[in-house]
């Protein structure tokens, strides 16, 4: 089981080496890893048994650091940051390339937050990287508000639990962003609608509140390339589209196809490694979208390990 303590120096060393550490915030405990390290981020998904690549929230020590990782902050959202940071508010902002696609599920915006807990703020000030930190619980279960909650459910998945006592808010952060000049609440949380509207005026609340910023749960078609994608058995699809082979691109789990130009096919993992396949998924779809092909043919993975998560994204990409 994980060690529990209040040692931020040890926590910083573990995080720097790529390990996961549970951290206290005023909302809930987070399962934290280096947000710039894809292996650490992937381990977060695996440890939580997360069924899909839900975007992760990135935690920083202060607003000055945010500009290192986002392109800009709209005036309305900057006003909210000034009013509520540090605190239970997450802002959805256009990300810089330094933030891996795995963190944002391939989306162009990243959720960022400055948490209001003295231990975690001190920890963040020691680090030269931000922390990706969803709630430190198995996916779908009640969020943890104490170190013992984390130990009970994820103690075997962690190197260390930073014990900051009971969470002050005990409710996840409110997620806010903007679309076409409109301030939008994507998830209700620790900062009330009324408090937000006192700063920026009337806001739009999405009808389905979700823990997933710009939630793929609200859209059947998502993560989709510009080119049409057809999902199925690749041998059958190749037969079906045999007269269009010059215009076809292939996204496979581990196979290669001699009849298709090498530039028009990507195997997510030639060794059949699910972790590698997950890391490569979004970049592979982008790569094939940039080819001269007019159609992308793809196959699902076995529904084991991270296969279920990868298939979820493939199905959304192929849905029309």
In the chain, the N- to C-terminal Cα span, in Å, equals 45
Residue 279 among known ligand-binding residues: no
Residue 112: which residues within 8 A CB-CB, separation 6 or more? 57, 58, 59, 60, 66, 69, 70, 90, 91, 93, 130
Helices (H), the chain: 8-16, 38-48, 63-66, 75-84, 101-104, 118-126, 147-154, 193-200, 234-240, 274-289, 307-318
Residue 160 among known ligand-binding residues: no
What is the rounded distance in angstroms from the CA atom of residue 228 to the CA atom of residue 32? 36
Residue 315 among known ligand-binding residues: no
Name the region of 180 (left: φ>0; alpha: ψ -120 to 50; beta: rest): left
Residue 27 among known ligand-binding residues: yes
Residue 215 among known ligand-binding residues: no
DSSP string, 245-278: GGGEEEEESS---TTS-GGGEEES-TT--HHHHH
The answer to whether 133 touches 31, Cβ cutoff 8 Å, is yes
Residue 153 among known ligand-binding residues: no
Q: Compute φ and ψ for 240, nearest 5 degrees.
A: -65, -35
CA 147 and chain centroid, separation: 23
Residue 122 among known ligand-binding residues: no
**90: which 2 tokens?**
């997450």
Question: What Rg, from alpha-carbon coordinates, does the chain have?
Answer: 21
Residue 274 among known ligand-binding residues: no
Residue 173 among known ligand-binding residues: yes
Residue 109 among known ligand-binding residues: no
Please report which helix (H) or strand (E) contains residue 187, including its range: strand 182-187
The answer to whether 243 touches 267, Cβ cutoff 8 Å, is no
The answer to whether 59 touches 131, Cβ cutoff 8 Å, is yes
Known binding site for ATP: residues?
50, 59, 135, 143, 187, 223
Known binding site for L-threonine: residues?
27, 113, 133, 173
């Amino acid at each position: 089981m994980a060690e529990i303590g209040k040692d931020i120096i040890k926590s910083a060393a573990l995080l720097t080496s790529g390990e996961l550490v549970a951290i206290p915030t005023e909302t809930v405990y987070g399962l934290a890893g280096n947000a710039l390290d894809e292996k650490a981020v992937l381990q977060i998904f695996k440890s939580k048994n997360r069924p899909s690549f839900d975007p992760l929230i990135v935690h920083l020590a202060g607003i000055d650091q945010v500009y290192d990782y986002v392109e800009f902050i709209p005036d309305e959202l900057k006003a909210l940051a000034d009013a509520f940071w540090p605190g239970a508010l997450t802002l959805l902002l256009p990300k810089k390339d330094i933030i891996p696609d795995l963190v944002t599920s391939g989306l162009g915006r990243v959720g960022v937050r400055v948490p209001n807990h003295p231990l975690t703020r001190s920890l963040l000030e020691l680090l030269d990287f931000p922390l990706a930190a969803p709630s430190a619980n198995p996916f779908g279960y009640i969020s943890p508000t104490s170190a013992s909650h984390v130990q009970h459910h994820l103690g075997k998945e962690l190197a260390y639990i930073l014990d900051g006592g009971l969470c002050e808010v005990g409710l996840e952060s409110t997620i806010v962003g903007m679309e076409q000049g409109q301030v939008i609440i994507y998830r209700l949380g620790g900062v009330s609608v009324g408090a937000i509207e006192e700063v920026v005026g009337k806001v739009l609340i999405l009808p389905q509140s979700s823990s997933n910023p710009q939630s793929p749960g609200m859209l059947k078609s998502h993560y989709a390339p510009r080119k049409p994608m057809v999902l199925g058995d690749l041998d059958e699809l190749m037969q079906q589209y045999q007269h269009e082979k010059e215009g076809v691109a292939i996204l496979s789990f581990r196979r290669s196809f001699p009849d298709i130009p090498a530039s028009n096919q990507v195997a997510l993992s030639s060794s059949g490694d699910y972790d590698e396949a997950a890391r490569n998924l979004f970049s592979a779809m982008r790569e094939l979208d940039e080819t001269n092909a007019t159609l992308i043919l793809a196959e699902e993975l076995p529904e084991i390990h991270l296969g279920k998560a990868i298939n979820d994204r493939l199905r959304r990409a192929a849905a029309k």
